[in-house]
Chains A and B, each alone.
Chain A
Amino acid sequence: MDEIKESAEDTASSLDTYARNPLVLGLLVGVFAAALQGLLISAGGPEAYGFCVACHTRDVVNDAVNSIAGTKLAIAAISQNAILPVLTVIGVLIGAFISAKFYQEFKTKTGSGVSYLWYLLGGLFFMAFALFMGGCPYRIALRVGYGDVVAFIGLLAIIAGVLVGIKIATAIAEREG
């Protein structure tokens, strides 16, 4: 009986070793996102739309606002045609919550009122910038894999933004000592 329990624990911990490796998520999600297009493209486009935190959130939020307020905010064709929009981000929230609870890593972390305002504004502007280039860094990765040169330029711009951001963050940290 103990042996069975031990081997079950071994399997669980070796599975967790794989899950903790970012390469596994990268490769798996890349291939699955491609498969998702094969599976669901009959419902509508665009292409290379398997996973996007910005666009998929936009689809869910705008669809909800449209249903409640009777507006006609634009969403992707696939979300327009399907019975419900793409729910990937809702899935991420659920999956990460279950995982955090299971591994006892769930911990309420609060911040100051000012920091909340910064994060709220940060999220708002982040969404606008991401939708300017037609996707968050994840859909940009899918589009680069799909052969989109504009997405590749966007990726280079993200890297430039990161370099500028590091300079600013370092300056702020030095000033605050």
Chain B
Amino acid sequence: MVAVGWLSKNVAVIAVPIVTILFGILIGWLAQRSAFCSIGGFRDYFMWKQTRLLYGYLALIVGAFIGYLVFWLITPQAFEHFFWLLTSGLTPVPGAPVGLTVVGYIILAIIGGIGVGLIGVILGGCPLRQVVMTSEGNVKALLFVVGMCVGAVVYTAWISGWVVSLMKGLGIA
């Protein structure tokens, strides 16, 4: 079944870039003002018991849950698999490399999560913060964003396939 949203497919395919760029501008403005940072939230809490940014990140999870719940009640066909655990069990929402077992996805989530947390703390910010600092004139953050762009191509073209074959070869996927 193809999910049906509030806009018809013909309109939605045109609306995608317009709606997402406007949404991005809103996020950029708010993130610049609040210095919002997900990884910074955890860092500030563990190092100094400061909860300002941490509560912001937790509010994102709560806001998303409330939003999904309310809109799912109104138009369930646009939120086909909400609440994911109840409709699809322990499988992940698509996005990671395809074709692995649940155990494989959990291993990748653990490796990926640790890497993301580690790099984020050492280089002083999650990707959103790096993008915002780029717009504030920080050349180091700009290099981080350029690295992400190169990483996207390298990952898609090679790493993703290698990881899947490695995990299948090891018999854990």
Interface of A with B (CB < 8 Å)? 16, 19-43, 45-51, 53-58, 61-62, 65, 71, 73-74, 76, 78-79, 81-100, 103, 105-111, 115-116, 118-151, 153-166, 168-169
Contacts and interface: CB of A to CB of B under 8 A. Distances in A.
Contact of A131 (B65, B91, B160): B160
A89 to B, nearest CB: 6
Given A39-B6, A99-B33, A145-B64, A83 B147 contact: no
Contacts, number: 537
B95 interface: yes
Interface residues of B, number: 126
Given A90-B21, A119-B123, A136 B116 contact: yes
B34 interface: yes
Chain A contact residues, majority secondary structure: helix
Given A92-B31, A100-B136, A118 B123 contact: yes
Contact of A122 (B47, B144, B156): B144
A151 B114 contact: no
A92 B27 contact: yes
Contact of A95 (B15, B26, B41, B92): B26
Contacts of B143: 116, 119-120, 123
A-B pairs, 5 with minimum CB distance: A91-B24, A161-B117, A30-B63, A123-B147, A95-B28
Given A133-B113, A157-B114, A30 B60 contact: yes
Contacts of B7: 39-40, 42-43
Interface in B125-157: 126-128, 130-132, 134-141, 143-157
A119 B29 contact: no
A112 B150 CA distance: 21
Given A57-B149, A62-B156, A126-B144, A134 B95 contact: yes
